[in-house]
């Protein structure tokens, strides 16, 4: 993982439609997790971006400091090396792409190819060096509740509606004991982008998991699905819950609000070149005849 400081116009030399397609081709792998790198690509894009502090204008996806120690070794980023390694061949193939653009575009591709909304995306992030790594503690702690979640996301510049929409990404993927210490997927279709985070949260009875691991919840009926303490905050907190109920009842409303909030997340703190165009990529399925 190099540290090359690209010149200010190198982003123009990349065909992002081709990168989109190549990332999409990397998603499936029957030997990885639930068969897709999509969820961990979404998580990489989010953790690369979610370090932003709007007061100091530090952090965020521009710079892609998540690839350097100490940031790569922050507890919250455990396991994201799997996503970075999977994408590394594309950095070689498209030498002019920045890591910041590659990691955020991977999140866009994953959301779209797994059935989610179109995410508007722009290129032009410029990589920084290890000296620009953000301090530990900027990403949310899953063991905490609504006050903590608000503190973390307000620091990025989000409001309650946007926070509630973003956490719907937990329809995707799973917790790994080897990474976060928590265990299990949030629902039965972890490789499909749906509003199931909200429907599962509301419709199940969540009970403490009986185990030696960190405190978390499982659904009482099957014991197969999980919620983090920080997830349960969205059910318990009356202001968050308004949006949880809305998104559970209306997948279109969720898709629209998620698309806006996720696009905003990926742009936090980025100084885009004035002539950087907005892309709305077609999915592979839409492109194929």
Stretch that binds ligand DDH, among 114-122, 166-174, 236-244, 249-257 (CB under 6 A): 166-174
Q: How many angstroms separate the first and last alpha carbons of the chain?
A: 37
Stretch that binds ligand DDH, among 40-48, 65-73, 191-199, 278-286 (CB under 6 A): 40-48
CB closer to ligand DDH out of 14 and 261: 261
Cβ-contact 98, 6 below 8 angstroms? yes
Does residue number 140 form part of the binding site for ligand DDH (CB under 6 A)? yes
Q: Checking phi first, is residue 57 left (phi over 0); if not, alpha (psi -120 to 50) or beta?
A: left
Min dist CB 173 to ligand DDH, Å, is: 2
| Annotation says 186 is catalytic | yes
Does residue number 114 form part of the binding site for ligand DDH (CB under 6 A)? no
Min dist CB 122 to ligand DDH, Å, is: 18
DSSP annotation of 28 reads: B
Does residue number 176 form part of the binding site for ligand DDH (CB under 6 A)? yes
Q: Which three-class secondary structure string do you get for 196-250? A: HHHHHHHHCCEEECCCCCCCCEEECCCCCCEECHHHHHHHHCHHHHHHHHHHHHC
3-state secondary structure of 101: helix
Does residue number 72 form part of the binding site for ligand DDH (CB under 6 A)? no
| Annotation says 96 is catalytic | no
CB closer to ligand DDH out of 14 and 42: 42
Q: How far apart are CA 108 and CA 262, in angstroms?
A: 9
Which residue in 11, 46, 121, 186 is the catalytic one? 186
Nearest to 107, CA basis, from 53, 187, 173, 199: 173
Does residue number 79 form part of the binding site for ligand DDH (CB under 6 A)? yes
Nearest to 117, CA basis, from 261, 13, 289: 261
Binding site for ligand DDH (CB under 6 A): 39-40, 42-43, 46, 79, 140, 142, 149, 166-167, 169-170, 172-176, 179-180, 182, 228, 230, 262
Q: Which residues are annotated as catalytic?
A: 47, 186
């Amino acid at each position: 993982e190099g540290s090359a400081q690209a010149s200010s116009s190198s982003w123009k030399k990349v065909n992002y439609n081709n990168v989109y397609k190549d990332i999409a081709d990397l998603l499936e792998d029957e030997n990885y997790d639930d068969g897709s790198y999509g969820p961990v690509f979404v998580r990489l894009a989010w953790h690369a971006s979610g370090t932003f502090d709007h007061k100091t204008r530090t952090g965020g996806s521009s710079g892609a400091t998540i690839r350097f120690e100490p940031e790569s070794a922050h507890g919250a980023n455990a396991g994201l090396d799997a996503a970075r390694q999977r994408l590394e061949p594309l950095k070689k193939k498209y030498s002019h792409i920045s890591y910041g653009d590659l990691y955020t575009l991977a999140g866009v591709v994953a959301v779209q190819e797994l059935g989610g909304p179109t995410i508007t995306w722009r290129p032009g992030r410029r990589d920084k060096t290890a000296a620009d790594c953000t301090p530990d503690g900027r990403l949310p702690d899953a063991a905490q509740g609504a006050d903590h979640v608000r503190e973390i996301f307000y620091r990025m510049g989000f409001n309650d509606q946007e926070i509630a929409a973003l956490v719907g990404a937990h329809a995707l993927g799973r917790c790994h004991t080897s990474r976060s210490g928590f265990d299990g997927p949030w629902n039965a279709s972890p490789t499909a982008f749906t509003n199931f985070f909200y429907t599962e949260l509301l419709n199940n009875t969540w009970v403490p998991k009986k185990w030696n691991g960190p405190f978390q919840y499982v659904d009482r009926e099957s014991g197969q699905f999980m919620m983090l303490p920080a997830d349960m905050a969205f059910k318990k907190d009356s202001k968050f819950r308004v949006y949880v109920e809305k998104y559970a009842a209306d997948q279109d409303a969720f898709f629209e609000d998620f698309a806006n909030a996720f696009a905003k997340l990926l742009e936090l703190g980025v100084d885009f070149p004035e002539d950087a165009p907005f892309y709305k990529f077609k999915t592979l399925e839409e492109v194929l005849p």
